[in-house]
Amino acid sequence: MRREFQLLKEDAQFLEDYGLPWEAVIDGSQWVIIHDFPTHESYNELQVTAAIRLETGYPMTQLDMVYFSPAITRVDGQPIGATQCSQQIDGKPYQRWSRHRTAQNPWIPGEDNLSSHIILVEEWLAREFYQ
């Protein structure tokens, strides 16, 4: 697993504790790539690779969105909103899930980090079925 840049200590520890293979890759931006990321039984893929861009200024600058490879769809055929764009990351196409924090759930520097963002990603995957 590549480590092309050094993560914050708490982010690296979170990923180690999370237990999935991960990489820190530079491809125009800094990306955390998490392999074997579980989705949900109602998606066409039970595991994907998830990519999260570490924005310039992180951790003071919030993390936003998530990218999945391969692209996922709902097994019931219903469309998933705001997932039509793709992004090349490390030579592979990733499906962009355009999901953002809200005024009710803002990024709080010093409290939020990669772990709180991944919790949101897990929630976005589940929320697709109870909206």
3-state secondary structure 53-119: EECCCCCCCCCCCEEEECCCCECCCCCCCCCCCEEEECCEEEEEECCCCCCCCCCCECCECHHHHHH
Domain encompassing residue 99 = 9-127
What is the chain's length?
Answer: 131
Q: Give the pLDDT of residue 131.
A: 62
Q: Find how far residue 37's CA is from the centre of its chain.
A: 9
Q: Is residue 1 included in any domain, yes or no?
A: no
Q: Is residue 94 included in any domain, yes or no?
A: yes
Q: Is residue 3 included in any domain, yes or no?
A: no
Number of structural domains in the chain: 1
Distance between CA 63 and CA 16 in Å, rounded? 19
The tens digit of pLDDT for each residue in 99-129 reads 999 999 999 999 999 999 999 999 999 999 8
pTM over cut 0.85: yes
